[in-house]
Amino acid sequence: MKGLNIKIIISFLGLTSMLNGMFMLFAVPFSMYYGESEKWGILQAGLTTIVIGFILWFFNRNAKKNLGKKEGYLIVTLGWLMLTITGTLPYVFTNSIPVYTNAFFETLSGYSTTGSSILTDIESMPKGILFWRSATHWIGGMGIIVLTVAILPLLGIGGMQLFMAEAPGPSADKMHPRITETAKRLWLIYFILTFTEFFLLKIAGMTWFDAINHAMATMSTGGFSTKNASIAHYDSFPIIQYIIIIFMFIAGANFVLTYFALKGKIRKVFKSEEFRYYFFGTIGVTLLITYLIVNYQDSDLQTSLQHAYTWGETENAFRHAAFSVVSVLTTTGFVSADFTMWNSMVTAIIFSLFFIGGSAGSTSGGIKVVRHIIMIKSSFYEFKKLLHPNAIIPVRYDGGSVPKTIIYNILSFFVLYMLIFIVSSLLLTFFGLDFLSAMGAAASSLGNIGPAVGSVSPVDNFAHLTIPAKWFCSFLMLIGRLELFTVLILLTPFFWRKN
The percent of residues above 90 in pLDDT, for the chain, comes to 57
Yes or no: say if 116 and 444 are a contact pair by the CB < 8 Å rule.
yes
> Helix, strand, coil shares of the chain as percentages rounded to 5?
65, 0, 30
Give residue 217's pLDDT: 96
- Judged by DSSP in three states, 440 sits in helix
DSSP per-residue letters across 82-96:
HHHHHHTHHHHHTTS
Nearest residue to 142 via CA among 319, 318, 364: 364
Q: Is the pLDDT of residue 159 over 60?
A: no
Mean pLDDT across 459-478: 94
**What does R_g of the chain's alpha carbons equal in angstroms?**
22
Average pLDDT of the residues of the chain: 87
Rounded Cα gap, residues 377 and 321, in angstroms: 29
- Report the residue count for the chain: 499
Nearest residue to 287 via CA among 349, 201, 226: 349
pTM above 0.75, yes or no: yes
Tens-place pLDDT, residues 113-155 = 999 999 999 999 999 999 999 999 999 987 755 655 554 454 4
- Looking at 14-23, 35-44, 184-193, 439-448, which range is the least confident one? 184-193
* φ, ψ dihedrals at 60, nearest 5°: -130, 15
Give residue 25's pLDDT: 96
Rounded Cα gap, residues 111 and 138, in angstroms: 8
Nearest residue to 444 via CA among 345, 339, 372, 362: 339
Rounded Cα gap, residues 389 and 131, in angstroms: 59
Q: Is the pLDDT of residue 495 over 90?
A: no
Tens-place pLDDT, residues 67-104 = 777 888 888 889 999 999 999 999 999 999 999 999 99
Rounded Cα gap, residues 13 and 63, in angstroms: 13
Amino acid identity of residue 44, one-letter, is Q
Phi-psi region of 416 (alpha: psi -120 to 50; beta: other; left: phi over 0): alpha
Mean pLDDT across 11-33: 94
Give residue 300's pLDDT: 45
Confidence of residue 160 (pLDDT cuts 50, 70, 90): very low
Cα angle at 338 between 336 and 343, to 5 degrees? 125
Mean pLDDT across 160-187: 61
- Looking at 13-22, 172-181, 267-276, which range is the least confident one? 172-181
Strand partners, 91: none
Rounded Cα gap, residues 212 and 131, in angstroms: 9
According to DSSP, residue 434 is labeled -
Give residue 179's pLDDT: 65
According to DSSP, residue 173 is labeled -
Nearest residue to 253 via CA among 157, 319, 166, 189: 189
| Alpha helix positions (H), 330-466 | 344-353, 369-387, 404-430, 435-447
| Alpha helix positions (H), 271-336 | 273-295, 299-304, 314-329
- Judged by DSSP in three states, 81 sits in helix
Nearest residue to 107 via CA among 81, 146, 77: 81
Confidence of residue 165 (pLDDT cuts 50, 70, 90): low
Tens-place pLDDT, residues 384-394 = 878 877 777 78
- Judged by DSSP in three states, 337 sits in coil
**Quick one: how far is CA 389 from the chain centroid?**
42
